[in-house]
With several copies, the nearest count.
Chain A
Amino acid sequence: MDAEVFRAWIVSSARTIEASRDHLTQLDAAIGDADHGINLARGFAAVLGAQEFGKASSPGAVLTVTGSTLISKVGGASGPLYGVAFRRAGKALGDDADPGLHALSAALDAALAGVQQLGAAREGDKTMVDALAPATRAFSKAVAEGASRDGALAALAEAAEAGAAATISMQALKGRASYLGPRSVGHEDPGAASTALILAALRDAARAAS
Chain B
Amino acid sequence: MKKLINNPDTVVTDALAGLAAAHPSLAVDAENKVILRAGGPRPGKVGLVSGGGSGHEPLHGGFVGYGMLDAACPGEVFTSPVPDQMLLATKAVNGGAGVLHIVKNYTGDVLNFQMAAELAEDEGIDVVPVVINDDVAVEDSLYTAGRRGTGATVFAEKIAGALAEEGADLAAVAAVAREVNERSRSFGVALSPCTIPAAGKPTFELADTEVELGIGIHGEPGRTRAPMAPASELAAVALDAIGADLPVDGDLLVMVNGMGGTPLIELYALFSEVSQYVRARGGRITRSLVGNYITSLEMQGFSVTVCRLSGALARLWDAPVETPALRWGR
Contacts and interface: CB of A to CB of B under 8 A. Distances in A.
Report if A and B touch in the complex (beta carbons < 8 A).
Answer: yes
Interface string B50-87: 00010000000000000000000001111111111000
Given A38-B198, A175-B145, A179-B145, A76 B137 contact: no
Interface in B197-225: 198-199, 201, 203-204, 216, 218-221, 223-224
Interface string B73-107: 00111111111100000000000000000000011
B228 interface: no
A33 B82 contact: no
B138 interface: yes
B148 interface: yes
Nearest to B135: A179
Interface in A10-53: 25, 29, 31-35, 38-39, 42
Interface in A34-87: 34-35, 38-39, 42, 71-81
Contacts of A173: 143-145
A90 B219 CA distance: 36
Interface in B257-274: none
B221 A180 contact: yes
Given A72-B82, A179-B148, A180-B223, A34 B203 contact: yes
7 contacts: A29-B201, A33-B78, A35-B77, A75-B108, A75-B112, A77-B107, A173-B144
Given A72-B82, A179-B137, A33 B220 contact: yes
B59 to A, nearest CB: 15
B17 interface: no
Nearest to A122: B143
Residue with the highest number of chain A CB atoms closer than 10 Å, among B107, B201, B224? B107
A118 B107 CA distance: 10
B145 A174 contact: yes
B102 to A, nearest CB: 17
Interface of B: 53, 75-84, 106-108, 111-112, 114-115, 137-139, 143-145, 148, 196, 198-199, 201, 203-204, 216, 218-221, 223-224
A178 B148 CA distance: 10
A119 B144 contact: no
A35 B220 contact: no
A80 B270 CA distance: 33
Contact of A75 (B80, B144, B223): B80
Contacts of B82: 71-75, 79
A176 interface: yes
A146 interface: no
**What are the 8 tightest A-B residue pairs by CB atom distance, in nearest-first order?**
A33-B218, A80-B111, A77-B107, A76-B108, A77-B108, A76-B79, A75-B79, A33-B78
Contact of B76 (A42, A72, A80, A81): A42
Nearest to A78: B108
A35 B144 CA distance: 21
Contacts of B115: 71, 80
Contacts of B216: 176, 179
Contacts of B204: 29
A207 interface: no
A82 to B, nearest CB: 11
Contacts of B83: 71-72, 80
B112 A174 contact: no
B220 A119 contact: no
Contacts of B107: 77, 119, 174-176
A174 B219 contact: no
Contacts of A71: 82-83, 115
Interface in A148-194: 173-176, 178-181, 183
A81 B110 CA distance: 12
A178 B139 CA distance: 9
Nearest to B76: A75
Given A34-B219, A173-B143, A77 B106 contact: yes
B138 to A, nearest CB: 5
Contacts of A76: 53, 75, 79-80, 108, 112
A173 B223 CA distance: 14
Contacts of B148: 179
Contact of B218 (A25, A42, A176, A178): A176
Contacts of B219: 33-34
Contacts of A79: 80, 82, 108, 111-112
A75 B138 contact: no
Nearest to A43: B82
